Structure 1
């Protein structure tokens, strides 16, 4: 059986027991640990033990080390994406991990001799290693995981990456303390490189999607072509921009931790480990929480929630920093943790990171699922290029603000405010992100949602969704629970109301009117439905044409027949249960949702039936099926 057709695992943790995921996960883990152990160890040495590196400026090195690591992403990502599409990803993984062993040999010599040039070279080469592995990493997952496993799989990878960052940071802290610590770091890096190569040997075969691809070795023209490929799908492109912005925010915070600990918190290097441990734990919690909140789906509604939390806690970190003493002797991790003011700093970092996990995991899964298999690695290479450019921009912003006299807390404030502006810009371009969040928040605040047969909604391709019409929020519920965007056919009068009209125009709803009111609008609605279905979209219609006033279904009209006559596609019958009697219905005895009265969510059910062929989807047959799904009492 093809892995992409497997049923999603009940828990993403089960993937750690499967060969299709576990060897890849540990290969990635070892590489991420080495990346960060080398970078953080080198940065820590030049910051806190600069006497070992005569002639090296600590502040300049703090910016130069991440720049050297990022540079290969700009230079070689386009080539790496082509290689990942042309060759088996397992074979490429083994080559990259063998290269890593050689790089760690160079790094070990640099640590042994306290040679800054050798360590700069090793940092650059580890950037090359990560550049080559990046497209392989994110193109591998959708090749071996079902769509329902992508959120959990990405969450595990994000979790493992930040645990590896923490482990690398601890090793880097050891390197800053003593000469023996540097040797321990050198041995650990070499050991992890070998362990990664051993894990890579068990990565299963991952056939190349385009083995006949001719590699363009010109990085400039290929970079431009990769970005052009990524821009062909607007949702993918905006997803890549959203991911890259997160790298901007993450690079700003992570690269500032050493200066933040020393100059603002007045703490020794051990506190940097505390900060990174807190940040890593937050990412882990947020990434794993994604799977629970999205229930295995690619839930883009979590992206705005994540961006809101990132801004709130980045800005609060600025105020928390200003509540600290202006100067004090360097304190140990134990003394740092005894201060209540420092716990506010840690809480801000933890929550900032947790919301970053909620933000990033759905975006990665969205890009992977929407990218064509033949170009997926090159699109992920474009992602790496954008990430690198955004990280360079973050470094330039930090240097500019530092030159202007802005301290680290001010940098956090500026980043938080920029996050507000960037998020607003992205959600203006793609309102479906924000609307999905609003729908998800409304439905899951008021109701405990149960889905029956939701997997029957097609993951790809055109289909007409047919549902009973119980309440004013039926479309909002379906919007929140559908795995894909839906084009709703709505009464034209609703478009005249300010809020609802804006909402349904933003989701590209199709206005419709009875023939006796506006025959031209009716015909245009049928044409719009046919055009949407021809583009492979989902179209939802409420064939009753009006809300029920009694709780019983009204007769289905012939509108669905007219749509299918123009575009014969599968029809998916659905029914909503649990909304009749709520304040959103026309029940004379309507009540507020139970959670407002007793603190427990009312149950709402979306029941989905088996898809019907267009020839079988008469209004009478559809009403019979929807009635069975709805139940005699609703």
Structure 2
């Protein structure tokens, strides 16, 4: 059975490809909207005051629903057929896309923030399905490769969504192009979900908890009771914390200290996204069907070192007085070194996350798997939301981007030490 299922390449198989494309189109739409919003805040003049903090808050608005709704998403995914739940969520997402189009046409930050929060709600409910469904359709040996492909799809979608979002919002943007992209990819996401094979009900007698606070706490207690799962959840949460901090600080770093314009911000985001995909692929190659947690440790050390170097580059640098395109910025010493550091952080991030998340999936009980993923997502969201609030507060009190990167790097090296001391045995 295992050999039969593993014989066909994942990207050509019905049991994996529709989920891959559904996740790709969803991540594209999320990041297209986020990037358009960031560019409107930074470059269009819609909000001159506290623009850096608003960019960070935008990330927090998207992530916050993960904390409140992941438990519900996990229960729905275990109680009902995961494919069916995904299809209904993605159908609803098309209506949220309509709110985003309205906000862009009105150039209204509040309406765009509402749409971004709506995408966050859909994504938080979809998260337990996205990763919980993989062990239903893949054999254990395929999990590292499947996770690497999903992570790669996510960051390629971030890449393309970022590029197109930046183009759509440049010089105020074109409402027609924005509408076509947001609505079109929401529709493609829904159509892809219709092809996901059914999984059956993991826990057909499960009663959905109406009190989301109670269900959230119950899932965290269950996660905490298993030492290995708790370890994996904490490790993956640190990855997402560093990711959201880096992506929220990057546009401000490029504009304010490197002196890059909209195209330059897009170029740096492209480098970061491609490098994460490369790191995820490298982790899958190293694993060769196994779960190799030493790769996570190596990724943590490299991530911390590159973040420290990026912070030290710009320590004491003055605010850029003029904005330049990618060709000029990349020829500058600081611009090139910053690109290398960001690529290094991204590759290290891919090495960091793939083995850790594959381990969580492999260690989870079959009838509780989606709820385990939901509990992990809750911790992820708590780390990310807390990080965005702290970073936004520090920015409001005048802490600069370089010192924030130095702090992130130092903290990540401490996390690497903790990983080394507590890491379960690889399988």
TM-score (norm 2): 0.95
Match of 2:101 in 1: 108
Equivalent position to 2:400, from 385, 407, 412: 407
- CA contact under 8 A between 2:36 and 2:165: conserved in structure 1? yes
- CA contact under 8 A between 1:6 and 1:145: conserved in structure 2? no
Change (3 A) 1:8 1:323: farther
Equivalent position to 2:285, from 292, 297, 314: 292
Equivalent position to 1:81, from 70, 74, 85: 74
Match of 1:370 in 2: 363
Change (3 A) 1:291 1:189: same
Match of 1:158 in 2: 151
Once the 2 structures are TM-superposed, how far is the Cα of residue 168 of structure 1 from its aligned partner?
A: 1.2
Does residue 301 of structure 1 match 2:294? yes
Match of 2:42 in 1: 47
SS state at 1:231 partner: helix
- CA contact under 8 A between 1:268 and 1:330: conserved in structure 2? yes
Is 416-425 or 237-246 further displaced after alignment? 416-425
Does residue 136 of structure 1 match 2:146? no
Match of 2:196 in 1: 203
- Structure of greater relative contact order (alpha carbons < 8 Å, 6+ residues apart): 2
What is the alpha-carbon distance in structure 2 between the residues aligned to residue 179 and residue 62 of structure 1? Answer: 17
Once the 2 structures are TM-superposed, how far is the Cα of residue 5 of structure 1 from its aligned partner?
A: 7.0
Once the 2 structures are TM-superposed, how far is the Cα of residue 35 of structure 1 from its aligned partner?
A: 0.8
Match of 1:605 in 2: none
What is the alpha-carbon distance in structure 2 between the residues aligned to residue 264 and residue 375 of structure 1? Answer: 47
5 Å matches for 1:429-444?
430-432=422-424
Once the 2 structures are TM-superposed, how far is the Cα of residue 338 of structure 1 from its aligned partner?
A: 2.1
Listed one character per residue, the Cα deviations across residues 560-580 of structure 1 (whole Å, up to 9, x for unaligned) are xxxxxxxxxxxxxxxxxxxxx
What is the alpha-carbon distance in structure 1 between the residues aligned to residue 113 and residue 387 of structure 2? Answer: 20
5 Å matches for 1:615-626?
none
Once the 2 structures are TM-superposed, how far is the Cα of residue 64 of structure 1 from its aligned partner?
A: 2.8
Choose between structure 1 and 2: higher helix proportion. Answer: 2
Once the 2 structures are TM-superposed, how far is the Cα of residue 60 of structure 1 from its aligned partner?
A: 4.3
What is the alpha-carbon distance in structure 2 between the residues aligned to residue 421 and residue 409 of structure 1? Answer: 19
- CA contact under 8 A between 1:279 and 1:349: conserved in structure 2? yes
Once the 2 structures are TM-superposed, how far is the Cα of residue 404 of structure 1 from its aligned partner?
A: 4.5
Once the 2 structures are TM-superposed, how far is the Cα of residue 180 of structure 1 from its aligned partner?
A: 4.4
Match of 1:520 in 2: none
Match of 2:29 in 1: 34
Once the 2 structures are TM-superposed, how far is the Cα of residue 62 of structure 1 from its aligned partner?
A: 1.6
Once the 2 structures are TM-superposed, how far is the Cα of residue 266 of structure 1 from its aligned partner?
A: 1.0
- CA contact under 8 A between 2:311 and 2:402: conserved in structure 1? yes
SS state at 1:351 partner: helix
What is the alpha-carbon distance in structure 2 between the residues aligned to residue 117 and residue 295 of structure 1? Answer: 47
- CA contact under 8 A between 2:28 and 2:157: conserved in structure 1? yes
5 Å matches for 1:583-622?
none
Q: Which runs of 5+ in 1 are unaligned?
A: 437-483, 485-634
Listed one character per residue, the Cα deviations across residues 592-623 of structure 1 (whole Å, up to 9, x for unaligned) are xxxxxxxxxxxxxxxxxxxxxxxxxxxxxxxx
Listed one character per residue, the Cα deviations across residues 152-202 of structure 1 (whole Å, up to 9, x for unaligned) are 110011111001011111122123313443431221011000111111111
Is 336-345 or 83-92 further displaced after alignment? 336-345
Equivalent position to 1:245, from 238, 258, 269: 238
Does residue 358 of structure 1 match 2:340? no
Equivalent position to 1:96, from 78, 89, 92: 89
5 Å matches for 1:533-552?
none
- CA contact under 8 A between 1:45 and 1:175: conserved in structure 2? no
Match of 1:545 in 2: none
Match of 1:335 in 2: 328
SS state at 2:307 partner: helix
Listed one character per residue, the Cα deviations across residues 5-54 of structure 1 (whole Å, up to 9, x for unaligned) are 755459xxx21111111011000000001111111111210211124x6x
TM-score (norm 1): 0.65
Is 246-255 or 419-428 further displaced after alignment? 419-428
Listed one character per residue, the Cα deviations across residues 49-88 of structure 1 (whole Å, up to 9, x for unaligned) are 124x6x9853443233222212211211111110000011
SS state at 1:279 partner: helix
Change (3 A) 1:61 1:318: closer
Listed one character per residue, the Cα deviations across residues 484-536 of structure 1 (whole Å, up to 9, x for unaligned) are 3xxxxxxxxxxxxxxxxxxxxxxxxxxxxxxxxxxxxxxxxxxxxxxxxxxxx
Match of 2:419 in 1: 426
Once the 2 structures are TM-superposed, how far is the Cα of residue 97 of structure 1 from its aligned partner?
A: 0.8
Runs of 4+ in 1 over 4 A off after TM superposition: 4-7, 322-326
Does residue 229 of structure 1 match 2:229? no
Change (3 A) 1:9 1:338: farther
Choose between structure 1 and 2: higher strand proportion. Answer: 1
Number of residue-to-residue matches in the alignment? 427
What is the alpha-carbon distance in structure 2 between the residues aligned to residue 198 and residue 431 of structure 1? Answer: 41
SS state at 1:256 partner: helix
What is the alpha-carbon distance in structure 2 between the residues aligned to residue 400 and residue 115 of structure 1? Answer: 24
Once the 2 structures are TM-superposed, how far is the Cα of residue 371 of structure 1 from its aligned partner?
A: 0.3
